[in-house]
Structure 1
Amino acid sequence: MPNASKTAKQLLESALSMTKKRAFWLSAGFFIALLLIDLAFPFRVNPRYSTLVTASDGTVLHAFLNEEDKWRLYTELDEITPLLRQTILQKEDRYFYYHFGINPVSVGRALAKNLTTGRRTSGASTITMQVVRLLEPRKRTYGSKIIEMLRAMQLEWHYSKDEILQLYLNLIPYGSNVEGIKSASMLYFGKLPQVLSLAEITTLTIIPNRPSSLRLGRKNPYIVQERNKWLRRFEKAALFDPQVIEDALREPLRAERREAPKLAPHLAIRLRKQYPQLPIVRSTLVPARQTQAEQLTRNYVNRLRSMNIHNAAVVVINNETMNVEAYVGSADFNNPYDGGQVDGVRAVRSPGSTLKPLLYAVGFDKGLITPKTALNDVPTNFGGFEPENFDRRFNGKVTVEFALANSLNIPAVKVLSDLTPSVLIDYLKKADFQTVKKQSAGLGLSMILGGCGVTLEELTRLFAAFAHEGQWKGLHYTMDDKLNAPSSPALLLAGKGSRKTSHPKDENARAEGVGERLISPEATYLITSILTQVTRPDLPNNFDNTYHLPRIAWKTGTSYGKKDAWSIGYNRRFTVGVWVGNFSGAGVPELNGANIATPLLFDIFNTLDYNSPTGWFKSAPDVVRRKVCAESGDVPSEFCTHQLLDYAIMGVSSTRKCQHVKWVFTDPTGQRSYCTECLPDSGYIKKLYPNLAPELIAYYELNRVPYAKIPPHNPACTRVLEVGAPVIISPNDGSEYFLEGQQLQLACQAANDVKEVYWYLNDRLYQKTSPQQPLFVTPPLGKVKISCSDDKGRNTDVRINVIAVN
């Protein structure tokens, strides 16, 4: 008997062992089968969401329909409040966090009820199964139900419970083209899900099961009845405090279909195109600043309409972070007649005089000029280019700071000519002026007066470099400028791999970046000092001697044809760019930067940063004060009796000695001058005379400006050709010329020590050349005076008569 008992025990143990092995292999086989099915039939979770653009504080600015023309706004995990979670789970799936996608108890109960009644009375769908049905709609059959169960297990395998709940709340239907609880919350209650009350959440909870019969905004009384039924159920389940339930029961339903948010439309459209893969783009806009800028721009343009000026654009940059805090592309986006949907911030326009600060800053850094350097504002021909000032007047000899503060054109062209356009183009390329990069091969001296293409965005970013001591930095339009498309859109849209927007400390870290050096802090300080002056012609008439003038550095500009008016300004906190004009390109006689664009600039600064406590810019380390000659701006010589203080950059600014006067030998009466070859034995004196440039002499002569003239050279001198005035050998004095499309050659002979000669037509400078270089011109018809002056101030005139051949 003991042996038999032992044998039975062994057989039992063997049977149990076999059963365990079979169970293990069955489980393993089932698992492998599920894995193979998952690999063969992957469940693709890739819903198409609407794009939502928010402000820096999370305020919703603009919402867009998705590719399927549906409102499906993306609900983030942190927007699912405990109140919302409790309510939705109590109604739809109380055991959501405990099952594996299928609730076996509910399935068994539903199957038994359906079999006993002979019809389908319960589906036993979990939230996970509902997500599957929303992603892959099928006919309501038992076969479809089995597929839904398998897909639900797949979904549970790949995603967490919170992510599945998030997907459900993003996909549930609310009738028409509204899907997702965030869409319904925004479009029917005008608020985000996290601020919904219990009554509002319950309302949105019951709609998806009956979106046709429970139409928000149309059947609100009936919806209130159904809502209250569920509130009573929550009360019986002790889900919420009784007083909270009573308050929710008494709350009226104020649901109605609202317009989707459409604020900051130009930037919103831009960001949507830039980040098409993101359901939520958090911009850098500050709602209060954006609203203020939009209102000021709209109201200001409304006052200009009587002058046939219909649009404006504004950019506001926070200098500390380089965040764009206000972006106004046009005065009224919804105005199709005036091109309201054109983005004026990115439209390519002529900059007028707004590039002059950069030009003079480069001149400071190259050691060519200082603020007191003298420049000649007189009629000048730069190889066929004859610029004029905005007011068509000339000022004679002026300083650099006067030329910049008064936005004079001829001195700017002179500095650019000395600097060469290619140097300025390189700086503009470094500052990321895209159109200048494309146009660079064809740009010349006219670019400094507006002969190139720029955008308001580029100009404002350039002036922000002046607020950063010459460091150029890129602009930030989103709170995370490192946004990239995730490797799997499905992960992003389901909650996995979604990029959190940066916190304030992150943006501060970005702002602390060094940036790229564009100009030196010293040159920046000199430019800022000049642009802060208030005694200047581009001060608006109605701001003269007024307490409304903000403390800013600013520069205006007006394009050729008066098509574009600019005003860009900055202080320590902000840089603001303003463009005013017509998107049609129509010019307006009254349009100019000073009186049209600057008032709006001042209004914006006074609104954003009135009486700013931030302080002002401090002098750079290598900026020094030195005495210079008031006549030339150069280091004084022993003849410079009138001196004044000037700024200079240590080790950079030129130290050349002043040569504004020179010694001339004359007779005692001052009627005749001598060279060293013809000094008389009878006596002579040595006297100082102004060393004036030929173009300045011509300007003085033409406008009868008195000056100390060097007496005519001794006519008895035998070396007139070698050491005297240039001799014009072509054309012949007193001759008639019959021209039929040809050009006339100008040629001269000059002394060996002459390096440059200046040719004038009717007392207007045409071009300077070397003495040996022939020059071809097309003279005007009629009597023409042709003059040639050398770099010693000596001059020769001839007169000819030009006749056209018929």
Structure 2
Amino acid sequence: MLFMKAGSVRSRFFWAVILLLGGLLVSGVIYLEAATRFEPRTLQLVPGPLVLDRKGRILRLIPGLQGQRLVKLPEGKIPSLVAQAFIAAEDQRFWCHPGIDAVAVLRAAGQNLAAGRIVSGASTLTMQLSRLAYPGPRTYHRKILEAVRSLRIEQTLSKEEVLRAYLDRVPLGGNLVGVETASLAYFNKSASDLTPGEAASLAALAKAPTAWRPWGPRADRLAARQRLILGRMAQLGFLSPQELAAARQEPLVFHGAGRGAPILPFQAPHLVQIALSRGKSSRTTQGRLATTLDLSLQQRVEALVRSHRTQLARAGASQAAAVVVDNRTMAVLALVGSLHYGPRDQGFNNGVTALRSPGSTLKPFLYAQALDQGFSSAAVLEDVERHYRTPRGEFNPANFDRSSHGPVSFREALGNSLNLSAVHLLNQVGPSAYYDTLIRLHLINHPERGPEHYGLGLVVGNPEVTLLQLTAAYATLANGGLYRPLRFTSGDPVDPGVQVFSPQAAYIVTDILADPLARTRIFGGAPAMNPVCRLALKTGTSTRYRDCWCVAYSPEFTIAVWVGNFNGQPTARLSGASGAAPIVAEIAHEVFAGTVPQDFPRPQGIISRNVCSFSGLVPGPGCIHQRQELFIAGAEPTQVCTYHQPRDPWHRMPTLYAGWLHKRHGQGGEGRFRLAGFPLDLDKVFPPVQPAASAPPKPASRNGKVSLGLGGAGAGLPRFNPPAPGEVPLVSITYPLNGDRFQLLPGADSVRLTLKADCRMPVPAITWLVNGREQAATAPPYELTLDLARGRYHLTAVAPDGRGDAVEVMVE
């Protein structure tokens, strides 16, 4: 009985132990399964992009999210020398084992037992990959987990996939991860181009990437292990005896110098910033971002811009920026954001993206729009001093040379960048229409500010733009009026574009900008403004010489340069022609490299006609000076010249130019210009200047209102007839403007004003009335100087037939 009880107890104990061990085994299996789970996506590293130029040359390697610099191996076959070197160094039976090398485990165990400490490991490449993908403390427990996970990894991935994943993850010094990254950093080449000695060096570095860095105190150990790996590669049949001997004799030249991390490429930093800021859409799955930049051209342009530093500094400019664009694809080939990328003179700022006043560089777009609206390219534009009323106040433009040029041709007005003519043209085209054109060219950066905000200053630099925007706008002219955005990466699509100008208008404006004779009046023979090759060229200078611009283009390329100071300080009277144009000329020489730019293709619908050089009309018998001009078909002049008469040497101009000619006559520069309908002797046309008249009587008032007395001021005066709505006035008061307010200076009793008027037709004299009372009759240039005391004044200018104009001003 007792025997049976004892047997029963032993049986129950046995089964309890069995159950316990089984439970432990099951728990262990469950634990191992959970602890060694492997997700292939954990091997999919997200590298920081490797930014390349258009030919695959490295511009910059951007660190990843964890600060590591990683470039994955290119798709395709793994470089054989790299694979062989790492297999020889770390896992010689890689292609045979299932993730764990049993032979290596037994060998390591024997060596460790004999030494009484760990002197040898048995980690396979797969186990190292497991440790890299699932990092943790290096313990025996972790070693078991790595071994089990390695088996699972090899069940999921092929050997080639395991090897590639390891080579992309292996640390190789500092924050360098992966053999492709290290190859670029240490040897300035792709892993596929490594020599046997270089490949063995990277495999050696994997054993102690920090301690054995090439420039560190233990670099000799790196060299010793490299030689050991080369020997193993020969033993495994990867290298022939001759190749081994050559590899051991090969001098290793590491890229860079000094101690610490290797030198990585840092090219075109401002363009790289722009390319990265455009989002992830252009990045490839391998983390490579291919830009449109041509590194060779970039480096030459950088050197050229930097070579002007001293000269610019003498003229008060500390910075410059430049852009070169391929017009056919709108690819940015070179981009220089500052003289030097660094803290000096705020060089970290990007000059191509900074909003600045463009000065006169917006004028060609107004002239192109005018041509599309039906203006004749031979039209004569008024380049005379005028005052304009705008929603933001009175606008008094002036030319760069502070003089007026009278009647100028459409071609000369644009070629010489005359402000007075441009504002006159804008006043005819309409600021709102021109504003819409600038929007289509992406040159309005504050759309909440309408055309009334900028007024007539739209054409002389009021809207701030960037150098990139200006470059794209000029490329529009080069591309026949078709606007397309710039491209910075190869992944940016080629936009079909928007037709802003007709091809004919773009061609005529381009022909003017490429005509050296069209700009001689202001720019003369300056070499930078007259490049050897035929380029369309335009400069601009902002107020107080803060910004200097120059843009040149051919059918193939557009080149744009800005010069100035990032802090907004004015330069020492540096202009676009003197500061930016010389840099553009030198860049053009580099871009074309001795070749001749192509001619601009002439579109259909362009015709050439002979016109009078002065009037722009069909030449008459008296037109001695004639020239050829281009026209959009249908816009050529049909009227015969009115400036000249047969056997008559004089240029008879409309009376609109009376004030300009009067000033020229006073300086002795009237030449052969005369006023139509007046004597040839200008001394008889322009009487001596009279002294300022005394202040007129105080305005009479009745019931608190000023009595103007029009129509009954005197028996000899014509009755004032204001122009009907829509009628072109015969007489127009050009100064002061209606509603002007003048403030007396401290201690002054009156303000001196020179009243000015224009007559559309020859008028011997006009009568000026102040508050309905006759003040004086004046012949051309129809001006009267008065001293006006405090009060409100109604000023009237009347022709002999009563037609005239009137304004009201206030002196306070």
Q: CA deviation at 1:161?
A: 4.5
> 2:452 matched to 1:453?
no
Q: Distance in 2 between matches of 1:142 and 1:325?
A: 56
Check conservation: 2:435, 2:458, Cα contact below 8 A. no
Q: CA deviation at 1:295?
A: 0.3
Question: Judging changes above 3 Å, is the alpha-carbon distance between structure 1 residues 744 and 460 closer, same or farther for their aligned structure 2 residues?
Answer: farther
Q: Distance in 1 between matches of 2:101 and 2:708?
A: 102
Q: Distance in 2 between matches of 1:638 and 1:438?
A: 54
Task: Report the counterpart of residue 146 of structure 2 in structure 1.
Answer: 148
Question: Judging changes above 3 Å, is the alpha-carbon distance between structure 1 residues 234 and 744 closer, same or farther for their aligned structure 2 residues?
Answer: farther
Equivalent in 253, 269, 273 of residue 269 of structure 1: 273
1:746-797 CA distance string (max 9 Å, x none): 9973266682448878xx6445xxxxxx655538743434355564455332
Q: CA deviation at 1:39?
A: 9.3
Question: Judging changes above 3 Å, is the alpha-carbon distance between structure 1 residues 379 and 261 closer, same or farther for their aligned structure 2 residues?
Answer: same
> 2:513 matched to 1:531?
yes
Check conservation: 2:534, 2:597, Cα contact below 8 A. no
Q: Which amino acid aligns with 1:402?
A: E
> 2:688 matched to 1:700?
no
TM-score relative to the length of structure 2: 0.76
Task: Report the counterpart of residue 60 of structure 1 in structure 2.
Answer: 58
1:421-447 CA distance string (max 9 Å, x none): 222222222222351535445222102
Check conservation: 2:723, 2:729, Cα contact below 8 A. no
Equivalent in 428, 433, 456 of residue 423 of structure 1: 433
Task: Report the counterpart of residue 191 of structure 1 in structure 2.
Answer: 189
Q: CA deviation at 1:572?
A: 2.5
Q: Distance in 1 between matches of 2:222 and 2:34?
A: 46
Check conservation: 1:744, 1:778, Cα contact below 8 A. no
> 2:380 matched to 1:381?
no
Q: Distance in 2 between matches of 1:34 and 1:222?
A: 38
Q: How does 1:318-717 map to 2 (within 5 A)?
A: 318-334=326-342, 336-370=343-377, 372-383=378-389, 384-433=394-443, 435-440=445-450, 442-481=453-492, 510=494, 514-535=496-517, 536-537=519-520, 539=523, 543=527, 549-628=532-611, 630-634=613-617, 645-651=628-634, 653=635, 657=639, 660=642, 692=654, 694=656, 696-704=657-665, 705=670, 707-708=674-675, 710=677
TM-score relative to the length of structure 1: 0.76
Other structure's SS at 2:468 match: helix
> 2:320 matched to 1:312?
yes
Taking CA–CA contacts closer than 8 Å with sequence separation of 6 or more, which of the two structures ends up with the larger relative contact order?
Answer: 1
Other structure's SS at 2:788 match: strand
Check conservation: 2:404, 2:660, Cα contact below 8 A. no
Task: Report the counterpart of residue 778 of structure 1 in structure 2.
Answer: 742
Check conservation: 1:185, 1:193, Cα contact below 8 A. yes
Q: Distance in 2 between matches of 1:744 and 1:118?
A: 118
Question: Judging changes above 3 Å, is the alpha-carbon distance between structure 1 residues 45 and 793 closer, same or farther for their aligned structure 2 residues?
Answer: farther
Other structure's SS at 1:200 match: helix
Q: How does 1:78-97 map to 2 (within 5 A)?
A: 80-94=78-92, 96=94
Q: CA deviation at 1:306?
A: 2.1
Q: Distance in 1 between matches of 2:573 and 2:105?
A: 79
Check conservation: 2:616, 2:641, Cα contact below 8 A. no
Other structure's SS at 1:480 match: coil
- Percent of aligned pairs with the same amino acid: 30
Task: Report the counterpart of residue 178 of structure 2 in structure 1.
Answer: 180
Check conservation: 1:569, 1:576, Cα contact below 8 A. yes
Q: Distance in 2 between matches of 1:638 and 1:745?
A: 54
Check conservation: 2:346, 2:566, Cα contact below 8 A. yes
1:292-332 CA distance string (max 9 Å, x none): 00000001123322222211101011223321111100011
Q: Which amino acid aligns with 2:382?
A: N
Q: CA deviation at 1:225?
A: 1.8
1:576-595 CA distance string (max 9 Å, x none): 00111111111123310111
Task: Report the counterpart of residue 127 of structure 1 in structure 2.
Answer: 125
Task: Report the counterpart of residue 803 of structure 1 in structure 2.
Answer: 789
Q: Which amino acid aligns with 1:304?
A: L
Q: How does 1:702-781 map to 2 (within 5 A)?
A: 702-704=663-665, 705=670, 707-708=674-675, 710=677, 734-736=696-698, 749-750=720-721, 755-757=727-729, 765-767=735-737, 775-778=739-742, 781=750
Check conservation: 1:134, 1:172, Cα contact below 8 A. yes
Q: CA deviation at 1:361?
A: 0.8
Q: Distance in 1 between matches of 2:190 and 2:612?
A: 68
Q: CA deviation at 1:166?
A: 3.1
Other structure's SS at 1:77 match: coil
1:350-390 CA distance string (max 9 Å, x none): 111111111101111111231x1101100111212111000
Q: CA deviation at 1:133?
A: 1.1
> 2:306 matched to 1:287?
no
Q: Distance in 2 between matches of 1:36 and 1:545?
A: 76
Q: Which amino acid aligns with 2:243?
A: V
Question: Judging changes above 3 Å, is the alpha-carbon distance between structure 1 residues 785 and 211 closer, same or farther for their aligned structure 2 residues?
Answer: closer
Check conservation: 2:51, 2:59, Cα contact below 8 A. yes
Task: Report the counterpart of residue 69 of structure 1 in structure 2.
Answer: 67
Q: CA deviation at 1:516?
A: 2.2
Other structure's SS at 2:545 match: coil
Q: Distance in 2 between matches of 1:587 and 1:110?
A: 75
Q: Which amino acid aligns with 1:254?
A: V
Question: Judging changes above 3 Å, is the alpha-carbon distance between structure 1 residues 634 and 732 closer, same or farther for their aligned structure 2 residues?
Answer: farther
1:648-695 CA distance string (max 9 Å, x none): 2124x37674685799xxxxxxxxxxxxxxxxxxxxxxxx9967254x
Count how many residue pairs are aligned between Structure 1 and Structure 2.
690
Q: Which amino acid aligns with 2:220?
A: P
Q: CA deviation at 1:640?
A: 8.2
Check conservation: 2:81, 2:194, Cα contact below 8 A. no
Check conservation: 1:787, 1:796, Cα contact below 8 A. no
Q: Which amino acid aligns with 2:461?
A: G
Q: Which amino acid aligns with 1:551?
A: R
Check conservation: 1:224, 1:253, Cα contact below 8 A. no
Q: CA deviation at 1:697?
A: 2.4
Other structure's SS at 1:297 match: helix
Q: How well do the aligned residues superpose, as a CA RMSD in angstroms? A: 4.0
Check conservation: 2:386, 2:396, Cα contact below 8 A. yes
Structure 2, unpaired ranges of 5+: 1-28, 680-692, 711-719, 745-749, 770-774, 776-785, 792-811
Check conservation: 1:525, 1:619, Cα contact below 8 A. yes
Question: Judging changes above 3 Å, is the alpha-carbon distance between structure 1 residues 377 and 87 closer, same or farther for their aligned structure 2 residues?
Answer: same
Other structure's SS at 1:355 match: helix
Question: Judging changes above 3 Å, is the alpha-carbon distance between structure 1 residues 736 and 689 closer, same or farther for their aligned structure 2 residues?
Answer: farther
> 2:238 matched to 1:235?
no
Other structure's SS at 1:338 match: helix
Q: Distance in 2 between matches of 1:318 and 1:457?
A: 13
Deviates most, 74-83 or 224-233: 74-83
Q: Distance in 1 between matches of 2:221 and 2:596?
A: 58
Other structure's SS at 1:394 match: coil
Question: Judging changes above 3 Å, is the alpha-carbon distance between structure 1 residues 544 and 106 closer, same or farther for their aligned structure 2 residues?
Answer: closer
Q: Distance in 2 between matches of 1:579 and 1:405?
A: 20
Deviates most, 633-642 or 150-159: 633-642
Check conservation: 2:358, 2:463, Cα contact below 8 A. yes
1:684-716 CA distance string (max 9 Å, x none): xxxx9967254x22333344356335479xxxx
Q: Distance in 1 between matches of 2:384 and 2:743?
A: 21
